[in-house]
């Protein structure tokens, strides 16, 4: 007989194996993969990643939705999304993975990694200028939990760090810009652009040719560099390729793409100045995230407020 413990969970995920999530969640709660019938009043919580559209609308007693990943645009894509709290994942493990990725890619661009790998393939012994970190300005587009952590880590390494946010924000040691009026000055002061914005209707396609053309090219790196570890829908890949080919952009490190997995026919795979990773900058780890989700559920059932709630109006 099924264990009818409080707070039954629907686990609805696509794109990866849910086995470990199911195993860890079911150690404490009753977990189902599908609702029972057209309306299932037994489910209190949903843990999702790119869930089946419409499935959440079949849960009349749903109390909260938990996203497995940092992004929540996949939840808002559901036209029948119920009006319940949405909890985004905030975890030290996930944040550290993102910080590691950003620092790695920034250092690689600063130290001319793509050039030296190309020279190694040609067995050529040749040195080019590598500016010191204080002479390189890194701009973080998006100063949420991940953006702020990355900015502080880069500052600690020695880089000059700027940040842009939709609304005004003050961070010690970081020069911040905000709003439409602040975007161009921010870009003009940036040698390496790191994109960590959420995907919303307002940010979709923001990383296009016009934005890239405003980055600082006259610098010790030999041109502007792009790192996108945010969301794939933020970028226009045709514009990135155009910018690379005409010199507007020197190099790009891309972890996310408009459509995933990236098609084998995409020229990004073989472009000599593009570094591709398969949405691996900060992979959600069930061992770290499930205990945090279960703790939130327990707190909620004790009458305490949920933490890290998504602002439905803002979309993140």
pLDDT tens, position by position, 125-156: 999 999 999 999 999 999 999 999 999 999 99
> Residue 169 pLDDT > 50, yes or no?
yes
The pTM assigned to this predicted structure is 0.93
At residue 5, the pLDDT reads 58
At residue 4, the pLDDT reads 46
Domains in the chain, CATH or no CATH each: 8-89+284-301 (3.40.50.720), 92-276 (3.40.50.720)
At residue 89, the pLDDT reads 87
pLDDT tens, position by position, 215-238: 999 999 999 999 999 999 999 999
At residue 2, the pLDDT reads 40
> Residue 161 pLDDT > 60, yes or no?
yes
pLDDT tens, position by position, 249-264: 999 999 999 999 999 9
pLDDT tens, position by position, 186-214: 999 999 999 999 999 999 999 999 999 99
> Residue 1 pLDDT > 80, yes or no?
no
Per-position b or e across 83-116, b if 16+ CB within 10 A of its CB? eeebbbbebeebbebbbebbbebbbbbbebbbbb
At residue 265, the pLDDT reads 98
Cβ-proximal residues to 32 (8 Å cutoff; 6+ apart), any chain: 8, 9, 10, 11, 43
Establish how many alpha carbons lie within 13 A of residue 2's alpha carbon, considering only the half-sphere containing its beta carbon: 10
At residue 3, the pLDDT reads 43
Looking at the annotation, which residues are catalytic?
231, 279
pLDDT tens, position by position, 103-122: 999 999 999 999 999 999 99
Joined tokens for residue 130: 């590598």
pLDDT tens, position by position, 7-55: 999 999 998 889 999 999 999 999 999 999 999 999 999 999 999 999 9
C-beta atoms surrounding 22 within 10 Å: 19
At residue 277, the pLDDT reads 98
What mean pLDDT, rounded, does the chain reach? Answer: 95
At residue 15, the pLDDT reads 81
């Amino acid at each position: 007989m099924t264990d009818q413990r409080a707070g039954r969970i629907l686990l609805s995920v696509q794109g990866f194996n849910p086995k470990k999530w199911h195993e860890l969640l079911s150690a404490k709660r009753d977990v189902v993969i599908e609702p029972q019938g057209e309306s299932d009043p037994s489910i209190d919580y949903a843990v999702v990643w790119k869930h089946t559209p419409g499935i959440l609308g079949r849960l009349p007693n749903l109390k909260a939705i938990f996203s497995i990943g940092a992004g929540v645009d996949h939840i808002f894509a559901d036209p029948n999304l119920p009006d319940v709290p949405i909890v985004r994942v905030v975890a030290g493990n996930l944040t550290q993975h993102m910080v590691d990725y950003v620092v790695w890619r920034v250092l690689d661009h600063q130290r001319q990694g793509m050039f030296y790998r190309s020279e190694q393939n040609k067995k050529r012994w040749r040195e080019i200028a590598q500016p010191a970190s204080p002479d390189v300005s890194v701009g973080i587009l998006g100063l949420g939990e991940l953006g702020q952590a990355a900015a502080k880590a880069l500052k600690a390494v020695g880089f000059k760090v700027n940040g842009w946010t939709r609304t005004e924000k003050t961070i010690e040691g970081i020069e911040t810009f905000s709003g439409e009026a602040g975007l161009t000055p921010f870009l003009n002061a940036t040698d390496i652009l790191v994109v960590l914005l959420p995907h919303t209707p307002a940010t979709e396609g923001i990383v296009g040719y016009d934005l890239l053309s405003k980055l600082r090219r006259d610098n010790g790196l030999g041109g502007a560099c792009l790192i996108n570890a945010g969301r794939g829908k933020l970028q226009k890949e045709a514009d990135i390729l155009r910018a690379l080919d005409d010199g507007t952009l020197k190099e790009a490190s891309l972890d996310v793409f408009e459509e995933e997995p990236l098609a084998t026919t995409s020229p990004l795979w073989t472009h000599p100045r593009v570094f591709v990773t398969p949405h691996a900058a900060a992979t959600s780890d069930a061992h770290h995230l499930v205990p945090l989700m279960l703790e939130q559920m327990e707190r909620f059932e004790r009458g305490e407020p949920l933490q890290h709630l998504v602002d439905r109006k803002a979309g993140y």
